[in-house]
Structure 1
Amino acid sequence: MGESKYLYQRGFGNEFATEDPRCPGALPAGQNTPQKCPYGLYAEQLSGTAFTAPRKENQRSWLYRILPSVVHSSYTPILETYSISDWSKGLQNRSAIDEFAEETPDPNQMRWSPFPFPPSSLNVDFQQGIFTVSKAGDPSTRCGLAIHVYSCNSSMQNKALYNADGDYLIVPQHGALDVKTEFGRLTVVPGEIFIVQQGIKFSVSVDGNSRGYILETWGDHFQLPDLGPIGANGLANPRDFLTPVAWYEDIASSYTIVGKFQENWWSLVQDHSPFDVVAWHGNYAPYKYDLSCFMAINTVSYDHCDPSIFTVLTCPSNKKGTAIADFVIFPPRWSVAEKTFRPPYYHRNCMSEFMGLIRGTYEAKEEGFAPGGASLHPAMSAHGPDRACFEQASSAELVPARVGDDALAFMFETSLVMKTMKWTRKFQQPDYIKCWSGISKHFSQLKIN
């Protein structure tokens, strides 16, 4: 979808080796830290796991850059932020805004209308437009996650950001993102996802209003789920993940670097571009994935499979088979189940389920759940199709049918209990619970076929 603009390398978790074509031979031969690197570059390692992590889990990359990352000013805290619930207030002191506080944990099912774009009177870039919706856990203990939305209308000018707390999985919903990273350049459009791991600097350019969702994890890195009896093929295939080819810029200009550290923003200034990596090799690098490449697995006989069959990426916890976070999509597909209620079944789950909509309408909630909005079903709070969906699906002729054409919904699922932020109240749909209030009783002592 956005593949042609820049050069990419294929594969998930590969040990890549790449250099900017303008500097052939920039990768040192035979060792990581020669006494003098080619072209007068500096060698710098970026470690995404502990040095002593097992080889199959160890993630690190060597960067060969014009100046090392340590050449910068001291960090200073950023106290100002925009208020999405009242954009007209512009920049405010975050420490004085109650709306950034957490709500008391709430078991109610929640749904939000589409989150707004910034007014044209404000220039809001990607980093300024990140707003936390819900979170659980603590980055200081490296266990947990946060769910954000972003809404922006301006490009980051001589500015980059990185996340010291964890990884970002970014899901654009409206507008393309043109991204510079230390590892190269990417274009990410709605229908694709972009993963940028802990510590990697990046900058986002946009053309007008842009909006989307972010899943931030504070534990392990994302990985492909095991396939078990599915076999070697299915779901997301490694070859469809794209990692950038090395690209650098040599700019001597004031550059602001914004870092997220323990859920607060800090900034520093340096006199050169952070995107000065001429060559790199390793297996720790940002990547993107086109969701239309997902090979859906579904039933061809009867009953509705659990949504885990639609898992694209997972971030595991220490408990086997249980995730800190799963990223799940509901792509266009055929439904052919016989003698079966085909939409998602009524359900109570020990996991928390946050859903977003990239485009179209979701099969079990055709009213009220709109692109750019979201819903949260807390752990053990019941949910499922609304009355209209149930009545229609219960009497529908069970012939092969397409599901979700021109639509794309996704779910962030976690084993943790989420707390929402107070600012989200303004966009909540207070009558969401009523979508189930009209469900009728059909019970009869006489058997109904």
Structure 2
Amino acid sequence: MSGDARKTAEGLSYLSGFGNEHSSEAVPGALPEGRNSPQRAPLGLYAEQLSGTAFTEPRAHNRRSWLYRIRPSAAHPAFTRTDNGAIRTAPFTETVPDPNRLRWNPLPEPPAGTNFLGGLWTLGGNGDAAQRTGMAVHLYHADTSMERVFSNADGELLIVPERGALLLHTEFGLLRVAPSEVALIPRGVRFRVELLDSADDGGRAPAARGYVCENYGAPFRLPDLGPIGANGLAHARDFRAPVAAYQDVEGPVEVVNKFCGNLWTATYDHSPLDVVAWHGNHVPYVYDLRRFNVIGTISYDHPDPSIFTVLTSPSDTPGLAGIDFVVFAPRWLVGEDTFRPPYFHRNVMSEYMGLVEGAYDAKAEGFVPGGGSLHNMMSAHGPDRETFDRASAAELAPQKVDDGLAFMFETRWPVTLTPHAAGAEHLQRGYDGVWQGLERHFRPLR
């Protein structure tokens, strides 16, 4: 962005506890003492509250932050509609939910000059964004940094890079996120995405690629641990928030707002990333998936994959998530007399799975980094024939699984595809074939 006058060094701070109150200031004295909205905010700033939940939600669930900025967010011209590109939003009604097992190769290379927003491609989703229920699965592919600023009134965005590091310029400061990490941008927070990888000899930067979960429902939070106790899974201390930074930019800046599924644009006469100080708990953050503390069996059999839940978006039914974000991180397998890859199963939840790096231990081939699979509710799935044969005959010594990093967006409702996902050239038409050749081994006792 021309005229960028960022006033602090890039940096991150560890959250002292997920969802707790935090604060940061780019200029000493910018945070008021003892009041959220004093009669005159320090340094001639404007005080503004950003509420991510209703005012009266329980204290433990309430999300809001106070921002102390150069100009209030209200100082902007009218928005007008702009092209949605390949972005779609719930309710998804252009196709019917598909019970078939589906798998895609990575997105094709983007046209030169494609940025993060222009490169968003919606696979599908469920619920209703206007009713704040459900979710959407997007992928992105970009080779150019954003100049525009983007905000999403429909929900929060969980960004999962698969290729290429990103620098997220947010109202709260800067977040660097790379493959094996995830970043969350809360509902309504403005940001732009800068690509960090250098250009090649031909002058073109390698394209950044990854996945995005758009959560229309309750904000992601850490799951309850139940019988696990006080420790395990994702530790609250490992989530990192940005250090306050601001852009004091006078001049035209295009701002794009996603509202009830459509993109709207307005040209501001200043940068909206002008927050000098902030405090609250409605903040962006980054989490390193390799810090996930995996819990597993040390005797026999498989615990259910819910033990791999990093974040959950609860629904109105206790224990039934609108979305679970699940990671299959490096871990040891030691179960005795146990089929160690994920078991054959049918699930009331719907599962979209992606791969960040390496290989997934339930699939021999075809499931590659940047690709993804969708198994809607009660769609039978599990290891392919080659994996089944190999695992059934394997010597059951302790085994370290550390050659891949897979994740899952798991949701209570079926995922309905967009037409461009259902008809994509990179959809694998022969996916069902991976389960062919699972032979009959039944030998009744005589």
Category of TM-score, reference length = shorter chain: over 0.9
Q: Is 2:13 the partner of 1:8?
A: yes
Structure 1 residue aligned with 2:150 = 161
In the TM superposition, what are the counterparts of 1:48-447 in structure 2 within 5 Å? 48-79=52-83, 81=85, 102-119=94-111, 122-157=112-147, 159-206=148-195, 207=197, 208=205, 209-403=207-401, 405-424=402-421, 425=423, 426-446=425-445
Structure 1 Cα separation of the partners of residues 387 and 222 of structure 2: 32
The answer (yes or no) to whether the contact 1:145–1:216 under 8 Å persists in 2 is yes
Structure 2 Cα separation of the partners of residues 400 and 5 of structure 1: 42
How far the C-alpha of 1:311 sits from its partner, in A, is 0.4
In the TM superposition, what are the counterparts of 1:29-48 in structure 2 within 5 Å? 29-48=33-52
- The 3-state SS of whatever aligns with 1:105 is coil
AA partner of residue 33 (structure 2): A
The answer (yes or no) to whether the contact 2:347–2:377 under 8 Å persists in 1 is yes
The answer (yes or no) to whether the contact 1:148–1:215 under 8 Å persists in 2 is yes
The answer (yes or no) to whether the contact 1:215–1:412 under 8 Å persists in 2 is yes
Structure 1 residue aligned with 2:6 = none
Structure 2 Cα separation of the partners of residues 428 and 388 of structure 1: 22
1:304-357: CA deviation from partner (whole Å, max 9, x where unpaired): 111100000000110110011000011111100001111111101111010000
Unaligned regions of 5+ residues in structure 1, if any? Answer: 84-93, 95-99
Q: Is 2:25 the partner of 1:19?
A: yes
TM-score, normalising length: structure 1: 0.92
1:374-412: CA deviation from partner (whole Å, max 9, x where unpaired): 000011110000111111111111110112x23100000
How far the C-alpha of 1:151 sits from its partner, in A, is 0.8
AA partner of residue 34 (structure 2): G
- The 3-state SS of whatever aligns with 2:251 is coil
Structure 1 Cα separation of the partners of residues 109 and 94 of structure 2: 23
How far the C-alpha of 1:71 sits from its partner, in A, is 1.1
1:217-251: CA deviation from partner (whole Å, max 9, x where unpaired): 11100000111111111000000000111111211
- The 3-state SS of whatever aligns with 2:237 is helix
Question: How many residues matched?
Answer: 423
Structure 2 Cα separation of the partners of residues 328 and 262 of structure 1: 27
Structure 2 Cα separation of the partners of residues 344 and 179 of structure 1: 35
The answer (yes or no) to whether the contact 1:248–1:278 under 8 Å persists in 2 is yes
**% identity of equivalent residues:** 54
Farther-moved stretch of structure 1 (423-432 vs 317-326): 423-432
Structure 2 Cα separation of the partners of residues 60 and 178 of structure 1: 24
Farther-moved stretch of structure 1 (200-209 vs 180-189): 200-209
How far the C-alpha of 1:142 sits from its partner, in A, is 1.1
Structure 2 Cα separation of the partners of residues 445 and 291 of structure 1: 46
Structure 1 Cα separation of the partners of residues 236 and 115 of structure 2: 32
The answer (yes or no) to whether the contact 1:117–1:211 under 8 Å persists in 2 is no
- The 3-state SS of whatever aligns with 1:427 is coil
Structure 2 Cα separation of the partners of residues 5 and 249 of structure 1: 13
- The 3-state SS of whatever aligns with 1:107 is coil
- The 3-state SS of whatever aligns with 1:391 is helix
Structure 2 Cα separation of the partners of residues 131 and 147 of structure 1: 9
Structure 1 Cα separation of the partners of residues 243 and 96 of structure 2: 45
Segments ≥4 residues shifted beyond 6 Å: none
AA partner of residue 94 (structure 2): E
1:49-100: CA deviation from partner (whole Å, max 9, x where unpaired): 11111211111110000000111110101126269xxxxxxxxxx9xxxxx9
Structure 1 Cα separation of the partners of residues 86 and 258 of structure 2: 16
- The 3-state SS of whatever aligns with 2:33 is coil
AA partner of residue 108 (structure 1): N
Structure 2 residue aligned with 1:91 = none
AA partner of residue 413 (structure 1): E
Structure 2 residue aligned with 1:97 = none
- The 3-state SS of whatever aligns with 1:303 is coil
The answer (yes or no) to whether the contact 1:101–1:422 under 8 Å persists in 2 is no
TM-score, normalising length: structure 2: 0.92
Structure 2 Cα separation of the partners of residues 367 and 342 of structure 1: 18
Q: Let me know the Cα RMSD of the aligned residues.
A: 1.5
